[in-house]
Amino acid sequence: MIKTARVFWLTIVALCFACTSSQCVARDWFGDGQAALREAKRLQPIEGRARNVILFVGDGMGVSTVTAARILEGQLKGGSGEENQLAFERLPYLALSKTYSANQQTPDSAPTMNAMMTGVKTNDGIFGVSEAVRRKDVRWPVVNEHRLTNLLELAEMRGMSTGVVSTARLTHATPAACYAHTSERDWESDADQPFGTDVPDIARQLLEFPFGDGLEVAMGGGRRAFLPESVTDGEGRKGRRKDRRDLTREWVEKYPNARYVWNLEQFRQVDEAKTDHLLGLFESSHMQYEADRIDGEPTEPSLSEMTEKAIALLSKNPEGFFLHVEAGRIDHAHHAGNAYRALTDTIAFSDAIRTALQLVDLRETLIVVTADHSHVFTMAGYPQRGNPILGKVVMPGETEPALAADGKPYTTLSYANGRGFQQLDVGGDTSYREPINAGRANLSSVDTTDEGFHQEALVPLHDETHGGEDVAIYAGGPMAHLFRGVQEQHYIFHVMAEALGLTADLERAPHPQ
């Protein structure tokens, strides 16, 4: 994909600077501004109640990630990139979300998704419970005493349909915070738990979900947490459960008109009209990065395909639906220091949102797009417009990369900490097999746009960390205008609950403070 786009670079630069007169440039920029103003003046808030809510979360999708992905997508289309817009950037309302958790300035995914789903901040490493719960507390009565009612549970109690879709393991913190309550985010199966705990593992909680008629859709990775260790799945991977339970079989037995699928062929054969409960587990662990999924013949669905399937199935309910869709692997690529995969997964996330926007009516569906947290991912230097976003910095009027004070070229994108520079045949998680190589490298002969390139990092760490700055909230549909200014992250829950008219239900539900 990137390699094909390289042929456009010289053409792009030429087009960008073909019109150099001040009159021409001023007319273009001024006209664009006037058009944007006219569009803003026509915008009218939708005050009515929402029938449906879709919460899209790009895990780790900070503002610098959005900017770089926007440029990359535009450049892959043959443009300079900067003027491009991702699908969700066209939504009319925007706010900032303060992501700190109850006990950390820079959070992890567990408390951040807890904030969005329950309206309450909590501590790192836990979700579905208040900050009164100590991490790794093995006592279920204590965990249960401080459990928080979440939006998906409220929707099920109202008779709505619900779904969770992720490219990460379904038992990973962000998707799991929609249906589970735990004192430890890593207790994904009983094999992950210490002896003596009576807190149900996360996969088990999905099957034992006690509200309404259970989730109608659950799709993502994480097959190993649902299968007993005596079972080898269709891709040759063993399950991990020690209690001998096959939760995939239990799903089909528990619900009427239920299906379990684990590959692309089975997924495409699902008839939404005849299926009321769909469980899809497409990898033993996390699903593939989008760049790897499309390398050859895909064996698992894209995030767009899963989103489309989920909406088709959930839309059958006249009472409406709540759907959460996560692009979980943006975060993982950043942790590995591989901007290529982080950005291509962000573009795939945008594609999924575009699919949703084509399928729903924003007069009755609230769409919220945000991130749980950011990353220490920077876009810097002074590259000329149209410079390859994954490339080395080439300044305006120059043809060769700029040199730093150490005499070496440098890239536009880099990380403040992490594993550092690697040039590998395959990028992403393969970097963990290599030694940490933080600091500067001589990139003169390195193709930094290659999928196996891992950006330089300043501080050497086992993996790159989250960032603590605010992230953006993009919204459209009923009550979307309530997203404005700078808000606490848990405010997202309160707007979604207000849009669905669930505030009164929340007041009657157990919700410890």
Question: Cβ(469)–Cβ(436) under 8 Å?
Answer: no
The identity of residue 492, as a single letter, is: I
DSSP assignments along 145-213, one per residue: HTB---HHHHHHHHT-EEEEEEEEETTSHHHHTTT--BS-TT--SGGGSPTT--SPPHHHHHHT--STT
Question: Cβ(97)–Cβ(471) under 8 Å?
Answer: yes
Q: Which two tokens stand for residue 469?
A: 């700055």
Provide the 8-state DSSP code for 314.
H
Interatomic CA distance for residues 203 and 226, integer angstroms = 6
Provide the 8-state DSSP code for 234.
T
* Pairing mode, strands 471-476 and 93-98: antiparallel
**At what angle are helices 339-359 and 303-314 packed, to 10 degrees?**
30
Segments of 205-276 assigned E as strands: 217-221, 258-261
Nearest CA among 155, 186, 116 for reference residue 369: 116
Instruction: Determine which one of 64, 80, 109, 161 is catalytic.
Output: 109
Q: Active-site residue 109, yes or no?
A: yes
Residues 6+ apart with CB under 8 A from 201: 187, 188, 189, 190, 192, 193, 225
Interatomic CA distance for residues 366 and 257, integer angstroms = 28
Longest dimension (CA), the chain: 75
Nearest CA among 408, 411, 428 for reference residue 419: 428
The end-to-end CA distance of the chain, in Å, is 50
CA distances from 38 to 32, 43, 481 (A): 10, 9, 18
**Hunting for tokens 């594609």 — which residue is that?**
351
Interatomic CA distance for residues 119 and 489, integer angstroms = 8
* Pairing mode, strands 374-375 and 466-467: antiparallel
Nearest CA among 80, 76, 70 for reference residue 294: 76
Q: Which two tokens stand for residue 364?
A: 């009755």
**Hunting for tokens 């300044």 — which residue is that?**
395
CA distances from 318 to 158, 159, 315, 436, 496 (A): 12, 9, 7, 54, 19
Query: CA 109, 314, 285: angle at the middle one, nearest 5?
Result: 40
Q: Residue 369 forms beta bridges with which residues?
A: 56, 474
Active site positions, annotated: 109
